[in-house]
Amino acid sequence: MRTELIVAFLSGLVALVSVTYSAQANRKSALLKNELERQAAETLRDLERQDAMGRYRDPLLWAAFDLQSRLYNIAGQGFLRVHFVQPHEQLYAVRSTLYVLAEYLGWVEILRRRIYFLDLGNREANRHIVTLLARISNVLNDDTYADTHLQLFRSDQRGIGELVITDDRDAASCIGYAEFCSQLESDRRFAAWFTRLSDSVAQLASLEGRHPRVVDLQVALMDLIDFLDPEQERFPQQRRFRLQH
């Protein structure tokens, strides 16, 4: 009888240990599964973030660089005065200047609509890029400069940005230079958005010295470029110049 009790006790003890071990193993397995799922989700978010930055941040970077380059050439190299000598060059100078500004505004508008795609990994970075974009917008909008050359109110900035965005919602982009020129020639409503800016560019060609708005805008764009390309992978230091008043 005593032997049967001992066997029964041992059997119960083994069963209890087995249940306890199995419960601990299941708990550890569940924790491991949850951790692996968390890591997989985080990796997926990182990949999506990198893809989004490549799809939206890089085009903005190139558009900002093209615009600042034109502004630098206008203020520092006499681009407009040189090209306004011949009528056909004058047309190119005006249209290409309008285009690089419109393309930049187009990408800003795309990002405004898809701002969550520009998640740079932390809130501080997100706030900083919004601040940089707002600063550029403020320079264009500012009415405290001595004149209105290249002044563009905020709603007009958005309007021009909307005009040059393609209709493909799955892969938004901006129209190319050829289409932009064609629209200027064939669409009066489209061209009307650029009449005042076109006059401003022509007036800048006759000005001596560096226009304060042009300088401030070029410097603000360079700050954006430095932020978007901190490792200088797209644009090396020798291509980064800042205007001075």
Residue 15 lies in a domain: no
Residue 20 lies in a domain: no
Predicted pLDDT at 117: 47
The backbone torsions φ and ψ at residue 215, rounded to the nearest 5 degrees and listed phi first, read -65, -50
Predicted pLDDT at 235: 87
Residue 49 lies in a domain: no
Task: Kindly tell me if the per-residue pLDDT of 164 is higher than 70.
Answer: yes
Torsion, Cα of 199, 201, 202, 204 (10° steps):
120
Predicted pLDDT at 172: 83
Structural domain count, the chain: 1
The residue range of the domain holding 91 is 54-239
The string of pLDDT tens digits covering residues 121-136 is: 566 777 888 899 999 9
Give 49's pLDDT tier (boundaries 50, 70, 90): low
Give 88's pLDDT tier (boundaries 50, 70, 90): confident
Residue 9 lies in a domain: no
Residue 25 lies in a domain: no
Residue 175 lies in a domain: yes
The per-residue DSSP string of 97-136 comes to HHHHHHHHHHHHHHHHHTGGGG--SSHHHHHHHHHHHHHH
Residue 34 lies in a domain: no
- Tokens 């090209």 locate to 83
What is the share, in percent, of the chain residues with pLDDT greater than 90? 50
Three-class DSSP category at 165: strand
The string of pLDDT tens digits covering residues 170-229 is: 678 999 999 999 999 999 999 999 999 999 999 998 887 789 999 999 999 999 999 999
Residue 170 lies in a domain: yes
